[in-house]
Amino acid sequence: MNPIKCPKCSSKRTIWRGYRRNRSRDKRLRLCRACGRKFTPDDGYLRMRFKPQIIRKAVGLRKKGFSSAEVRTHLQRYEGAKVSRWTIIKWERRYRKKA
């Protein structure tokens, strides 16, 4: 198992310390024993407002040839997520290889 480094001091002396909760999901927090900073490890969806499943679904639909307006309508109708067309285009650029 590869220990997670602290983004501030690059120490490997980190432990799990609670959860960070937001609208989309709970994420585990890490505590650095060297500098005392709490941080969330980057899972590829750092600072994303929507759930990773919705982002992957939008990028997958864009890969299948749907327009950004069609993807937006689909997400709003079936997933209940209000997403702008520009956000879908930015997701496609950022997560093209992950979906």
Domain boundaries, the chain: 1-41, 52-95
50-to-9, 45, 59, 60 alpha-carbon distances in Å:
29, 9, 13, 15
- Say what the alpha-carbon torsion angle 58, 59, 64, 67 is, to the nearest 10 degrees: 60
CATH fold of 1-41: N-terminal domain of TfIIb (2.20.25)
> Quick check: 15 and 8 in contact, CB under 8 A?
no
Q: What's the pLDDT tens digit per position in 50-98?
A: 989 999 999 999 999 999 999 999 999 999 999 999 999 999 999 987 6
Spatial separation of the C-alpha atoms in residues 99 and 85, rounded to whole Å: 18
83 neighbors 76 (Cβ within 8 angstroms): yes
**Is pLDDT of 1 > 60?**
no
pLDDT at residue 20, as a whole number? 85
pLDDT of residue 99: 55
Query: pTM of the prediction?
Result: 0.75
